[in-house]
Amino acid sequence: MERVFNFAAGPATMPLEVLQSIEKNICNFEGEGLSVMEMSHRSKTYEKIINETRDNLRTILNLDNNFDILFLQGGASSQFAMVPLNLANNGDLTYYAVTGNFANKAWDEAKRWTNAVDITNSMSDKYKYIPHIDSSKIDKSAKYLHITANNTIFGTMYDNLPEVDIPLVADVSSNVLGKDYDYKKFALAYAGAQKNLGPAGLTVVIINKKYIRSDLDKSVPTMFRYDIHAKNDSMYNTPPTFAIYVAGEMFKWVLKQGGVKELEKRNIEKANMIYDILDNSSFYKPFAEKESRSIMNVTFNLKTEELETKFIAEAKENGMINLKGHRVLGGIRASIYNAMTIEGVKKLTEFMQTFEKNNK
């Protein structure tokens, strides 16, 4: 089969030119006589790769030296634990904006260690929108407010970051490098790589150095301590070397495209192509409320489950895969991260119009 259009929520589609560059170097990296997978993480060649990768991300996100960039493992799920263990003491007050399944998981995990309070919670409304945070309700002794910047399953997103007087922590897994936030506003932001950064198995953590603590409880595992990873430049243990290399190739591609501002513009354009159809049809029903809509994941329903199944199957026959919504929500979800082309979205919208005509 020729290349498909892959609308998966993550692991997700990557730019073909990035894959081709990796392919060219699989057996013999730039003529060095070995693969990146075989390189000692302490070798000069690999150190150059990881340093360049870190520097490029710093450039892309416009971060100054007050911030450390860490390359870790374990996905966002490990961060759900690391954030409270590192930023709070046992029993401290922390706030969570519960705007989706993963936000809820982060909150649950924080309860193991802190007095974690859901400052806002849209669960009873099926996470259809990003609820407002009433900053007058915030106790300033709280260690941080945790938000989920983009809710992959429900297709909602913070268009603007909440303004609060306590440290802001964000799970940016599904809109990092796709939505243009001011990262200097975060005390800490983290992202599993498998959406906009490359392959699964790598987690990027951006942390303001003033929140890195060394006086943690003895019970906190060494591998779950930001101070250890920061002090060792993400080389306390063997890092996921190949995944970091691939992320580095992605960062070079982002720079070549003109950075996050340009990619955000394209993402808005792509998302609007689909939302326009949803808003001008009684056949398709958008899920997320208008003012909370994501530019990364577009969620919608058809009249019946049967029709949705038919939609997904016919799309697949036409070379568009992974349009099925997450199992907790059902329906249709089109994930249109940075690497999804306008051409791919055009093909999807044309298919949607044809499908509507044929099944009205």
User: Using CB under 8 A as the criterion, which residues of the chain lie in contact with its own copies when the complex forms?
Assistant: 1-4, 6, 8-14, 16, 19-20, 22-23, 26-28, 31-35, 37-41, 43, 73-78, 80-81, 85, 109, 112-113, 192, 194, 198-202, 218-224, 236-243, 246, 319, 321-322
Q: Toward its own copies, which CB reaches closer, 132 or 218?
A: 218
Minimum distance of its own copies from residue 25's CB (angstroms): 9
Q: Toward its own copies, which CB reaches closer, 32 or 125?
A: 32
Cα separation, 106 vs 81, in Å, equals: 8
User: 126's torsion region: left (phi>0), alpha (psi -120 to 50) or beta?
Assistant: left
Size of the chain, expressed as the number of residues it contains: 360
Q: Toward its own copies, which CB reaches closer, 6 or 156?
A: 6
CB 180 within 8 A of CB 205: no
Minimum distance of its own copies from residue 258's CB (angstroms): 23
Minimum distance of its own copies from residue 84's CB (angstroms): 9
Encode 70-94: b = buried (16+ Cβ within 10 Å), e = exposed.
bbbebbbebbbbbbbbbbbeeebbb
CA nearest to 111, candidates 125, 134, 94? 94
Minimum distance of its own copies from residue 201's CB (angstroms): 3
Q: Toward its own copies, which CB reaches closer, 2 or 182?
A: 2
Q: Toward its own copies, which CB reaches closer, 120 or 150?
A: 150
Q: Toward its own copies, which CB reaches closer, 92 or 180?
A: 92
Cα separation, 30 vs 340, in Å, equals: 28
Minimum distance of its own copies from residue 257's CB (angstroms): 18
Minimum distance of its own copies from residue 241's CB (angstroms): 5
Count of other CB atoms within 10 angstroms of residue 273: 17
Q: Within a 13 Å sphere around the CA of 174, how many CA atoms are in the beta-carbon half?
A: 27
CB 300 within 8 A of CB 332: yes
What is the number of H-type helices and E-type strands within the chain?
Answer: 9, 14
Q: Toward its own copies, which CB reaches closer, 220 or 268?
A: 220
Minimum distance of its own copies from residue 239's CB (angstroms): 7
